[in-house]
Amino acid sequence: MSPPSNNLKDIPIYTQAEEAYSVGNIRALLAEIAARLEKLDENGETGMIDLNSLPFSPGEYEQLRQILGQGEVSARIEAIGPSEIIETHYPGVWWVTHYNVEGDIVADMIEIARLPEIIKSQPEDVHAGLERLKAQLN
Query: What is the dihedral angle through the alpha carbons of 51, 45, 84, 106, rounded to the nearest 10 degrees?
Result: -40
Please identify, using beta-carbon distances, which residue of 57 and 63 lies nearer to other proteins: 57
Give least dist CB 2 to other proteins, A: 32
Distance of CA 15 to the CA centre of its chain: 24
Q: What gap in Å lies between CA 114 and CA 97, rounded to an integer?
A: 17
Residues in a beta bridge with 49 = 110
Short-list 96, 112, 119, 120, CA closest to 45: 112
Q: What gap in Å lies between CA 43 and CA 110, rounded to an integer?
A: 19
Give least dist CB 27 to other proteins, A: 14
Question: What one-character-per-residue DSSP string does 25-40 give?
Answer: HHHHHHHHHHHHHHHH
Please identify, using beta-carbon distances, which residue of 47 and 71 lies nearer to other proteins: 47
Give least dist CB 33 to other proteins, A: 14
Please identify, using beta-carbon distances, which residue of 3 and 134 lies nearer to other proteins: 134
Strand 82-87 with 93-99, pairing = antiparallel
Name the site residues for other proteins (rule: CB under 8 A). Answer: 23, 46-50, 52-58, 77, 79-81, 83, 98, 100-109, 111, 117-118, 121-125, 128
Give least dist CB 61 to other proteins, A: 10
Please identify, using beta-carbon distances, which residue of 41 and 50 lies nearer to other proteins: 50
Give least dist CB 4 to other proteins, A: 25
Please identify, using beta-carbon distances, which residue of 67 and 109 lies nearer to other proteins: 109
